[in-house]
A and B are shown apart, each in its own frame.
Chain A
Amino acid sequence: MSPRQPFAFVDYEGLVMPTGRRAANLREFLDTLSQVSLDVVCHHLHRAALRHRFGTWDYPNDFASWAATGLEDLALAEKLAALDPYAYEQLEQAREAITDLVQDHLRELSAAPVARRGLEFHFASAHYLALPSGREASTLSQLRQAMTEVPLSSIFYHFHEARLRGPGDDSDDFSRWIEGQFGPDPVTAELRGIDFYFFSLEDLRQRIVAILDEHPAAG
């Protein structure tokens, strides 16, 4: 972003696109995972935060959630939850890591776990639109105010999705904008330091607001 540009929030709206492919047990899961497009891997790995959750933020991706609730295999759920999808430059590498993890897990079992009826894994991708919302912020205090009012999906776009737009995008939009506007600022290091994979979007919103509150408005 060039200097003197306000931060422009986007509306991030989308629809899940099911593939019609499902898995009722771990072997079917592995088979299908190897065949679906990388959009599907991306959707299940990165967009779980967009869905409504109950209570604490347990499992950060759909694969781990399914292992816990569909297969009731908590050891596998733990392993899948601990996988860091941002550790891989390419989605294909993330797919390979998941495949290796599940295969290693299967080797330790006497039989492949089967999902309860009605709780099979359904592979899907998604179609999302990022549209200008008209909401802008020119100062940190305006950014902080907007942060409390914009939809959670918008925060997802500027924080999570920002890191998926291409190689080298290892930062959220907020800290990138703050740096562009005001130069190096302690707030950017703190924002970039949030381990957001373990936050629900509401938790993330509150954390960002808390960081902005800790620093006097620079704008």
Chain B
Amino acid sequence: MTAATLDDYAAIVGPGRIAILRRLAARLAGLRLLVINSTRVGGGVAEMLVRHVPLLDELGLLTRWEVIEGPPEFYVATKKLHNALQGAPVELTPAQREAYLDANRRFAERIDLDADVVIVHDPQPAALIRFATKRCPWIWRCHLDVSWPDRRAWRFLRPFITRYDASVFSAAAFAMPLSHPQYLIAPSIDPLGPKNRELTDHAVDAVLARFGLDRSRPLVVQVSRFDRFKDPLGVIRAFRMARRRDDCRLVLVGGEATDDPEGSEVLREVREASAGDPDVIVLSIPPDSHTEINALQRAADIIVQKSTREGFGLTVTEGLWKARPVIAGAAGGLTLQVFDHQTGFLVHSIEGCAYRIRHLLNRPSLAHDMGRAGRELVRHSFLLTRDLRDWLTLFLALTGRAPA
């Protein structure tokens, strides 16, 4: 399938929004962007970059995407750093700190850093700036929920972050006391990508059949990596409480990102917790199973995302775009998408999650109205055309290419 071009999005967001993108980009023609993250496959960041890079190029910017790599110790260190920044009380050992810094040092030596703007995503390559000669604006783009970071982890990372010219967060709650400007840019989904494009009922049923599922009973679905912050064990408990009164099935579906060594351990715990329960279906599928995810979300009666920390929660955005009501933990970026009683429910406990599952199963017209509201929210605020517009605005602000 050919990737969508900008004009293809006009039918969804209106031609005016595309015209604005072109007008903003005209002031940035030829701007050389260097984008850096830690994986090309798996996870929301990689999925966004896969679409951003060609569309920014279509708009006349020159975008290069590099991925930091390292030995297994590097990924262990960055996963611990990731967890600690999201509030887990874990500390990097001196050896892990060195593995982190060494991978960043080697990466700085390996790649060409010549650009007009450098954008570094998340903590994995954040220390790169320490080993680079800085000749242009550098932006740190943090996708994590850093509202209550472990202080030791933040003290380790902060000296690198302060070298940047600006930081970008997904929600105001994540902003830090930093001396440089901080901006909010919510992440986004691609409505024309394989994970979100329209599917026929037949296509949805075909995917369900492959997993031994059907739509004869209500489906409650959580799509996310097997990560403790996503609380998959809490979802199973909530589901079992709800099922005592209301017939339904739970599907927990996720893939493992290449930069997440902890995923297999959490998956094992989830399989143990669901063993012997035919109504709890655990699917670990490859990270490029976009059509499968699309179909499972469309088949869902309710989308759940019971995270205790969440940078943004693109799987919730995907569910809302498919006009499904969402029950979400009141955490991080989820509160930007799930407006209580409007697009779904925010919950604060396993019991709350169970209660709202029952609530929605018994109120289909409410679920329907929430789904419609959610789709319009995403159309306005969380599609990739809005994301691109924000980035172009930021580039204009940082490069001085906008009139004063």
Q: Decide: B335 and A122 in contact? CB cutoff 8 A.
A: no
* Best-buried of A16, A124, A133 by chain B (most CB within 10 Å): A16
Residues of B within 8 A of A149 (CB): 16
Nearest CB in chain A to that of B404: its residue: A129
Q: Decide: A15 and B175 in contact? CB cutoff 8 A.
A: no
Q: Decide: A13 and B330 in contact? CB cutoff 8 A.
A: no
Q: Decide: A127 and B24 in contact? CB cutoff 8 A.
A: no
Contact with A along B16-34 (1 / 0, CB 8 A): 1100100110010000000
Nearest CB in chain A to that of B339: its residue: A54
Nearest CB in chain A to that of B169: its residue: A18
Given the contacts A15-B183, A16-B184, A19-B175, A118 and B24 also touching, CB distance less than 8 Å: no
Query: How many residues in B have their beta carbons less than 8 Å from beta carbons of A?
Result: 45
A28, chain B: closest CB distance, angstroms: 14
- Contacts of B370-384 to chain A: CB distance below 8 A: 373, 376-377, 380-381
Partner of A122, one of B173, B177, B348, B377: B173
Q: Decide: B178 and A16 in contact? CB cutoff 8 A.
A: no
Stretch from B61-69, B201-209, B394-402 forming part of the interface with A: B394-402
Asked if B223 is at the interface (CB within 8 A of a chain A CB), the reply is: no
Contact with A along B331-349 (1 / 0, CB 8 A): 1101100011011001010
Main secondary structure of the interface of A (DSSP, over half): strand
Asked if A120 is at the interface (CB within 8 A of a chain B CB), the reply is: yes
Q: Decide: B172 and A11 in contact? CB cutoff 8 A.
A: no
Partner of A131, one of B24, B176, B185, B342: B24
Asked if A113 is at the interface (CB within 8 A of a chain B CB), the reply is: no
Q: Decide: A116 and B403 in contact? CB cutoff 8 A.
A: no
Q: Decide: A17 and B183 in contact? CB cutoff 8 A.
A: yes
A73 to B131, CA, bound (A): 51
A134 to B20, CA, bound (A): 10
Q: Decide: B402 and A131 in contact? CB cutoff 8 A.
A: yes
A121 to B17, CA, bound (A): 30
Asked if B389 is at the interface (CB within 8 A of a chain A CB), the reply is: yes
Q: Decide: B172 and A122 in contact? CB cutoff 8 A.
A: yes
Asked if B182 is at the interface (CB within 8 A of a chain A CB), the reply is: yes
A150 to B17, CA, bound (A): 9
Q: Decide: A15 and B390 in contact? CB cutoff 8 A.
A: yes
Asked if B181 is at the interface (CB within 8 A of a chain A CB), the reply is: yes
Residues of A within 8 A of B343 (CB): 54
Q: Decide: B20 and A118 in contact? CB cutoff 8 A.
A: no
Asked if B291 is at the interface (CB within 8 A of a chain A CB), the reply is: no
Residues of A within 8 A of B39 (CB): none
Asked if A6 is at the interface (CB within 8 A of a chain B CB), the reply is: no
* Best-buried of B175, B376, B381 by chain A (most CB within 10 Å): B175
Residues of A within 8 A of B332 (CB): 118
B380, chain A: closest CB distance, angstroms: 4
Q: Decide: A127 and B183 in contact? CB cutoff 8 A.
A: yes
A22 to B335, CA, bound (A): 15
Given the contacts A15-B394, A15-B397, A151 and B16 also touching, CB distance less than 8 Å: yes
Q: Decide: A151 and B183 in contact? CB cutoff 8 A.
A: no
Residues of A within 8 A of B390 (CB): 15
Asked if B393 is at the interface (CB within 8 A of a chain A CB), the reply is: yes
Residues of A within 8 A of B173 (CB): 22, 118, 120, 122
Given the contacts A11-B23, A127-B397, A52 and B184 also touching, CB distance less than 8 Å: no
Nearest CB in chain B to that of A16: its residue: B184
Given the contacts A52-B381, A117-B348, A118-B331, A16 and B20 also touching, CB distance less than 8 Å: no
Residues of A within 8 A of B27 (CB): 131
Q: Decide: A116 and B172 in contact? CB cutoff 8 A.
A: no
A176 to B394, CA, bound (A): 31
Q: Decide: A124 and B184 in contact? CB cutoff 8 A.
A: yes
Asked if A180 is at the interface (CB within 8 A of a chain B CB), the reply is: no
A122 to B170, CA, bound (A): 13
Asked if A74 is at the interface (CB within 8 A of a chain B CB), the reply is: no
A54 to B393, CA, bound (A): 26
A112 to B398, CA, bound (A): 41
A170, chain B: closest CB distance, angstroms: 25
A149 to B23, CA, bound (A): 16
Given the contacts A13-B389, A14-B393, A15-B394, A117 and B330 also touching, CB distance less than 8 Å: yes
Q: Decide: A150 and B182 in contact? CB cutoff 8 A.
A: no
Q: Decide: A17 and B342 in contact? CB cutoff 8 A.
A: no
Q: Decide: A118 and B335 in contact? CB cutoff 8 A.
A: yes
Partner of B330, one of A15, A18, A54, A118: A118
Partner of B184, one of A13, A15, A54, A134: A15
Partner of B342, one of A18, A19, A54, A129: A54
- Contacts of B121-175 to chain A: CB distance below 8 A: 169, 171-175
A211, chain B: closest CB distance, angstroms: 22
* Best-buried of B169, B173, B331, B389 by chain A (most CB within 10 Å): B173
Nearest CB in chain B to that of A18: its residue: B175
Residues of A within 8 A of B177 (CB): 20
Contact with B along A86-121 (1 / 0, CB 8 A): 000000000000000000000000000000111110
* 10 pairs, CB–CB < 8 Å, chain A vs chain B: A13-B392, A15-B390, A16-B183, A19-B182, A20-B176, A20-B178, A52-B377, A55-B342, A127-B397, A129-B393
Which residue numbers of B lie inside 8 Å of A, CB to CB?
A: 16-17, 20, 23-24, 27, 169, 171-178, 181-185, 330-332, 334-335, 339-340, 342-343, 346, 348, 373, 376-377, 380-381, 389-390, 392-394, 396-397, 402-403
Which residue numbers of A lie inside 8 Å of B, CB to CB?
A: 11, 13-20, 22, 52, 54-55, 69, 116-120, 122, 124, 127, 129, 131, 133-134, 149-151
* Apart from A118-B330, A124-B172, 18 more pairs, CB < 8 Å: A13-B20, A13-B392, A14-B393, A15-B183, A15-B393, A15-B394, A16-B183, A17-B183, A17-B184, A20-B175, A116-B348, A118-B173, A118-B331, A118-B332, A124-B175, A124-B184, A127-B397, A133-B20
